[in-house]
């Protein structure tokens, strides 16, 4: 009887602690908003919602999924010299794509185990922080995934660079010497001007398209290969900036122009 009473008290206490966790919600302008407004914005195609948690606070933030901007010519030269080895090729559009699967096996194993392990407490269970999985990560399966990812990246690089004046680079974010291990594809680390100016948070943006005139597009969503081709073959981006603004203001769920949502695309092989 006493034992059952203790169990009930334990679960009651843990549930109380879980729901006493404070949550704050912010819009894309870093203004605090109500949770209902936050979730409404999260359903919009032009926005991406991120969460950051501590032991006592959950911070939910609405961020832009796509963003146009422009840098100075000197800054473009910095990026150009950092990425392009063949200096005879001028006026190239630079594309940087972050590969989120490129981890060492040791790091991937830690991430996998922390993600799929059983919850330590009722708080973890109720907040759905962890989930179980039937998939067992092995070094063989990990290497197979990496090999497949690199093969696809090389194919995409060849496909676009052969037909267009672009230079495609693939990025990894961790402080590991992975470039030495995977020498069959050029890899760059997310550091310096790339991290400071563009890909500060790869959870928000994971693709950079940078023109020689300094104009750029950051993307954290899905862009079809057709949309990418439009962007790299047309000098005037005003129409695409209008597509994004129309997506934000009017076609909030399905998007507009190059940002239009095509459900079939998510199941189709694509480069970006």
Question: Can you tell me the distance from the alpha carbon of 224 to that of 272, in angstroms, rounded to the nearest whole number?
Answer: 7
Question: Can you tell me the distance from the alpha carbon of 41 to that of 38, in angstroms, rounded to the nearest whole number?
Answer: 5
User: What are all long-range contacts of 8-15, with beta carbons under 8 Å and residues at least 24 apart?
Assistant: 11/122, 14/121, 14/122, 14/123, 15/122, 15/126
Question: Can you tell me the distance from the alpha carbon of 153 to that of 99, in angstroms, rounded to the nearest whole number?
Answer: 9
Q: What is the chain's Cα-based Rg?
A: 22
> If you search the block for the tokens 């189709």, which residue do you land on?
268
Q: Return all residues near 154 (Cβ < 8 A) that are at least 6 apart.
A: 184, 185
CA dist list (Å): 190 to 30, 66, 75, 135, 250: 25, 19, 16, 30, 35
Go through the domains of the chain in sequence order and give each one's CATH number: 21-62 (no CATH), 65-102+150-267 (3.40.30)
Secondary-structure breakdown of the chain: helix, strand, coil percentages, each rounded to the nearest 5: 45, 20, 35
- Residue spans of alpha helices (H) in the chain: 2-19, 35-42, 73-83, 105-116, 122-126, 139-163, 178-181, 192-193, 225-233, 238-249
Please give the structure tokens belonging to residue 74: 């000197």
Q: Return all residues near 7 (Cβ < 8 A) that are at least 6 apart.
A: none
Tens of each residue's pLDDT in the chain, 272 residues = 444 443 443 444 444 444 457 899 999 999 999 999 999 999 999 999 999 888 888 999 999 999 999 999 899 999 998 888 766 667 789 999 987 666 667 777 776 666 555 445 544 544 554 444 455 778 788 778 878 888 888 888 899 999 998 999 988 765 556 656 666 666 787 888 898 899 999 889 999 999 999 999 999 998 889 999 999 999 999 999 999 999 999 999 999 999 998 765 554 667 87
């Amino acid at each position: 009887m006493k034992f059952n009473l203790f169990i009930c008290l334990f679960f009651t206490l843990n549930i109380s602690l879980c729901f006493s966790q404070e949550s704050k919600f912010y819009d894309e302008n870093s203004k605090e908003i109500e949770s209902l407004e936050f979730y409404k914005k999260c359903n919009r195609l032009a926005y991406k919602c991120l969460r950051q948690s501590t032991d006592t606070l959950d911070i939910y933030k609405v961020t832009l999924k796509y963003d146009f901007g422009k840098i100075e010519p000197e800054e473009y030269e910095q990026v150009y010299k950092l990425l392009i080895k063949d200096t005879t090729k001028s006026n190239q559009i630079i594309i940087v794509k972050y590969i989120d699967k490129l981890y060492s096996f040791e790091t991937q194993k830690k991430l996998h185990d922390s993600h799929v392990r059983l919850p330590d407490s009722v708080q973890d269970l109720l907040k759905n922080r962890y989930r179980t999985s039937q998939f067992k990560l092995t070094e063989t399966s990990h290497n197979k995934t990496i090999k497949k990812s690199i093969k696809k990246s090389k194919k995409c690089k060849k496909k676009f660079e052969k037909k267009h004046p672009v230079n495609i680079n693939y990025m990894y974010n961790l402080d590991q010497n992975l470039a030495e291990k995977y020498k069959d594809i050029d890899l760059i680390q997310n550091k310096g001007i790339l991290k400071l100016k563009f890909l500060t948070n790869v959870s928000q943006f994971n693709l950079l398209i940078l023109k020689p005139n300094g104009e750029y597009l950051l993307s954290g969503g899905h862009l079809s290969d057709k949309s990418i081709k439009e962007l790299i073959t047309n000098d005037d981006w005003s129409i695409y900036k209008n597509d994004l603004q129309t997506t934000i203001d009017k076609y909030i769920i399905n998007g507009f122009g190059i940002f239009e949502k095509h459900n079939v695309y998510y199941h189709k092989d694509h480069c970006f």
